[in-house]
Amino acid sequence: MPAQAEETAIEDEGDADNPLLNRVWIQQGDTASPGAAQIFLADGTLVTDSCWETYRLSKWQQVSDTAISWDEDGMTINADIVSVSPSELVLTLHLVSEDVEQRFVPAEVPYLCPEMPR
């Protein structure tokens, strides 16, 4: 009987303890586009999407326990992690002209974008 290799986890040590990672975060608030989502993958890829826009893949990094950054159209976006838990993410983005707070909650599954007016 041939020996079978044991499956190993692909994630890095400590990734499982970081509630920011590998979760679909849906933006909340009046200014959020329908279905606006961010997914911070453990491999350093940021997936940004919404019901109105084509998805975007960017490089992101966790600068410290309380700060992240990512590349968007050749510009670095710096953000403070105000709070992160399995049920909520709050970021303060430091944009050129102002600081903007964004709130997110985990996506509910299943989720389907609403029909968009034409």
Per-residue pLDDT of the chain (118 residues; tens, 9 = 90+): 444 444 333 344 456 789 999 999 999 998 888 899 999 999 999 999 999 888 999 999 999 999 999 999 899 999 999 999 999 999 999 999 999 999 999 999 998 888 777 7
Domain annotation covers residue 53? yes
- The whole-model pTM stands at 0.82
pLDDT number for residue 15 = 64
- Kindly report the number of other CB atoms within 10 A of residue 79's CB atom: 21
Domain annotation covers residue 9? no
pLDDT number for residue 9 = 37
Domain annotation covers residue 92? yes
Domain annotation covers residue 25? yes
pLDDT number for residue 17 = 86
**C-alpha–C-alpha distance, residues 105 and 28, integer Å:** 7
pLDDT number for residue 7 = 37
Domain annotation covers residue 72? yes
Number of domains the chain contains: 1
Domain annotation covers residue 77? yes
Q: Residue 20 — left, alpha, or beta (φ > 0 → left; ψ -120 to 50 → alpha)?
A: alpha
Pick from 59, 64, 55, 56: nearest CA to 45: 59
Domain annotation covers residue 101? yes
Pick from 24, 48, 42: nearest CA to 104: 24
- What range does the domain containing 54 cover? 19-106
Q: What are phi and psi of 10, to 5 degrees?
A: -85, -25
pLDDT number for residue 25 = 98
Domain annotation covers residue 112? no
